[in-house]
Every structure is written in C-alpha cells, then in structure tokens.
Structure 1
Amino acid sequence: MIDNALLMEQNISRIVGGLVQYRPTQGGWDVQTPLLYPSGAFASVGIAGEGETFSVSDLGSGFREAYAGDVGNSFGRAANELSEEFGVIYEKRHLFIPRVAMGQLGAAVRLVANCSQASVILAIERANERKVAERSDRLYARLKKIFPNTAKHAQITGASSTEWTVDALVQRGDHLAVFDAVTTHANSVASTSMKFHDLALREDAPTRAASVESKRSMGTLLAVLSQAANVIEDAAPDQQYRQLAEAA
C-alpha cells in the first residue's frame, strides 16, 4: 500500500488535474486519461509503488484494445517500435516505465498513455495496409484472367493533372476502366473517392469501379463510395466485372 494516502491523493490530484478521472486501487492508482483508443474507450494507466519511486503502466489495455479489434498480432510489433521512441518498455503485453520519481509522474502518465494509444492506432493501420495489399493482389489476379490487357498499380492522370495510382487498369480498345479494392476503413474510402472524383472530370473519363468484400459491411460509407464509383462485391460473378469494365 502507498504510505500517507492523503499526501499521495493530493499529489495525484495535482498531477492529473487536467485528466478525466482517477481512483485508488490496492497498492496504487488508476488514471483515466482523455486520450481515446479507436474504439472510443479512454486510455487508462496504473500507478503503483510507495515512497518516492513508482511504476506507470497501461496494464495491458493497449493490447486488449488491439485484440478486441482483431489486430492483436500487429500490436506487439507496433508497441516494440514505438516504445523506444516514447522512452517506455514493452514487455508481456504491457507498456510501462518501471521507475518514476514523484515529480515525474505527470510526464510518465502522458508518455505511457500516448504510447499505448499510438501503438493501437499503428497496429490497426498496419493491419489495414496488409489487408488492402492482399485484396489488391486478388483483384488484379482476377481481372487479369478476365482481361489479359490489365495493368497492376497503374498510373493515370486526373483532370487536376494529379497522377493517381489505381489497383488495376483495364484497357478495352480506346476505353479504360480503373478498379480499386476498398476496405471498410474510412481512409480507404476517402482515398479511392478522391482519385475517382478527379478521374471522372477527365474528358475521356474512365469507368470507375470499387471492389468491396460486402456492401452491407460498408455501412454509411457505401453511400460515400457510390458517389465516386460503381461498387461491386468481391464475390460478384465475372460477368458483372466484365460489364463494368466494358461500360462507357
């Protein structure tokens, strides 16, 4: 237990005055910071110790958030990478600083919470990048079988003179069709929508198609994506892909 609980409470109150809330626990304190994980949950850290030396840990909350988001395998690599940058330790699924003086507790709480949040975000981004790359490869392989004249990761210039990269470009005579594999991640939808809107303004605008795993899983983002592209599901028959590519 922490000696002189009243003094400790006063110090904790001063340290976390700008944070959301804190509560005493057996042997320490739990501090809920204003930082949010992607799920919307607050990033919390635990303070443990007595006297003048304490430890600060995310108590594995970052890993649990990543695991709940199905990116637990990516979290360890992200945490190992960022822990050095933030000056914390990652071990046994916990991010922590083992020895912290009383006067450094505020900074330590911020470092651990920020590192935990950043590690979850990076894990999600890395997992999404891998998923996008895998789906892009599958989309290209499928289109290549249907249309031999298909280019992978092709460059095409929009009306703004910006050069865009699309997952696949199909050429049918003088007509072009561009395809992107899109995930449920907002950044994926935004990226494809931006490039397709620009391509739509070309005088010889190509057909624009976005391949998704499931229209239903896209939620409200389906309406956003549909403004810029013809949306087709991965499982759609080849004939639907052929009709899209050949549409003027």
Structure 2
Amino acid sequence: MHVREMKNECLVSVPSFYPSGAGAIVSITVEGNAFRVSDLGFGYRESKMVGAEVVFVRRAKKAADRIGVQFLDRSFSAIATFEQLAATITDISGVSTETTHQAVARIQNEGEGEVASHLLEKLTALFGASNVESIPDFRGASSREWDITAVVKKGKQTAAFKAVGNHAMSVYYAHAALNDIALLKNAPKTISVVKNITEMGNLYNILAQVGDVIEEDASNEAFKMALAA
C-alpha cells in the first residue's frame, strides 16, 4: 500500500486492480468525528472507457446495498470510525474493482455468444466433431489461461479460433489471448471470427496483428484455407 497526504485528504493506493491493470485508489477525508472513504468514481470511469458504464451503475447500486455502503454520484463511499477505517478501505476498493470487472465482462461477452455458437456449429460440420474442441482455459506462453472458442486439429494443421464481439473490450481480450498463444512453441494458427469486418472499423487492424480475421458467414472454403495456410 502507498499513502499520499494532501491538505484535506489522504489518497491510499491498494493492491486491488481494475480491468485496465490500474490499481485502485481510495480517498479518505475527515467528516465530523469520523472519516469518509471513497473510490472517487474510478470504477465508473474505468467502465465508461469501454462503454460499460450503464451496466456498472446497475450493478453498483445492488453491490452497495449488499455490503452496506453508499453509491452516489457514480462513486462508492462509506463513513468509518478510526477502528473501522482499514476494513472500510478494503470494502470500498474491493467493491469498486469487482463491480468494474463484472461490468466489463458483461460487455465483453455481448456479441460473442451468438458468433461463438455459430462458429462451433460450422467448425464441427466442416472438420468433424472429433477434430473440434472447445477450450475455455487454453494456456498461453505466459502460462495464463485464455477462453478460446475452439481448437481445430486436422492432420498436421492446428488452429485456435476465437469469436470476437464488435467492441473494444472483446477485441483487446482476443488480441492479448491470441498473441500469447502465438508465442508458444509449435503454436497453432490464430484466427479471429467476427460478425462483420466492415463494422469493426479500425478495431479490425488490431485483430489482424495476431492472425487471420474471418467473418462468421464466410464460405466453407475460406475456413479451410485459413486452417491450411
């Protein structure tokens, strides 16, 4: 932990992290004979960066009620005595980061589910069920496990397919996952599958850095060529 004292406020950095990797910071100010502990709206701002602020606010209100803190003006906060201060810092930083992760995950999954379902059906029909495996915990070169829609093994060819939604959070996750997998020894081909390439805009360029990008309605020949290339 790290504490920075200002004139009327202390800012405390805690080992709790938002989806972007930024650490949580809580503000402590004196309020009467007690202290006000706040996340300063950082959870809301993190969620807004990826378009998840509406989901965040909805979940934040329920989370605040559940643990007995306040959610007002897009911030989590609570009143604490000196004896309650350490626990309240933990509660506020924890609920802020956890709610943000939930909101971002919800946005990330939007648009992926339909593409993933269609993709699995198509790959199974093309390559046979025995050659298609859904792997939600594929381990990359970093040893981190990634949610990959399917791995196809056909003869000497192997490819990891990832369904990707048409929004930044889904693209960033896919980019990180496929890049990590591509660094493996004897790595499989990495292929992103999207609903519509044109609608991706410049997000397409990010996906293209880590492998082929195919539309879910592409021809059977396009999928076979992607695996064989």
- Report TM bin, short chain: 0.5 to 0.7
Q: Which residue does the alignment assign to 1:126? A: 106
Q: Which residue does the alignment assign to 1:147? A: none
| CA deviation profile, 1:104-155 (whole Å, cap 9, x unmatched) | 1111111101111111111122222223214325xx2xx7xxxxxxxxxxxx
Structure 2: runs of 5 or more not aligned: 165-170, 192-211
* Matching residue's letter, 1:60: G
The answer to whether the 8 A contact 2:39-2:92 is kept is yes
Could you tell me how far apart the structure 1 residues matched to 2:2 and 2:121 are?
44
Q: Secondary structure at the match of 1:120?
A: helix
Q: Secondary structure at the match of 1:192?
A: strand
Q: Which residue does the alignment assign to 2:147? A: 191
Deviates more, 1:112-121 or 1:204-213: 204-213
Could you tell me how far apart the structure 1 residues matched to 2:98 and 2:129 are?
44
Distance 1:174 1:121, change over 3 A: closer
Structure 1: runs of 5 or more not aligned: 1-18, 144-165
The answer to whether the 8 A contact 1:43-1:117 is kept is yes
Q: Which residue does the alignment assign to 1:158? A: none
TM, length-normalised to structure 2 = 0.63
Cα RMSD (Å)? 4.1
Distance 1:105 1:189, change over 3 A: closer
The answer to whether the 8 A contact 1:212-1:233 is kept is no
Pairing 1:101–2:52 present: no
The answer to whether the 8 A contact 1:48-1:55 is kept is yes
Distance 1:81 1:177, change over 3 A: farther
1:67 is aligned, of 48, 69, 91, to 48
Shift of the alpha carbon at 1:205?
10
Could you tell me how far apart the structure 1 residues matched to 2:50 and 2:112 are?
17
Shift of the alpha carbon at 1:234?
2.9
Deviates more, 1:106-115 or 1:85-94: 85-94
Pairing 1:240–2:222 present: yes
Q: Secondary structure at the match of 1:40?
A: coil
Q: Which residue does the alignment assign to 2:194? A: none
Q: Which residue does the alignment assign to 1:22? A: 4
Distance 1:133 1:171, change over 3 A: closer
Pick the structure with greater CA Rg.
Answer: 1
Distance 1:104 1:233, change over 3 A: same
Q: Secondary structure at the match of 2:124?
A: strand
Could you tell me how far apart the structure 1 residues matched to 2:128 and 2:175 are?
33
Could you tell me how far apart the structure 2 residues matched to 1:179 and 1:233 are?
20
Q: Which residue does the alignment assign to 1:35? A: 16
Alignment of 1:106-185 (within 5 A): 106-136=86-116, 140=118, 166=120, 168-171=122-125, 178=132
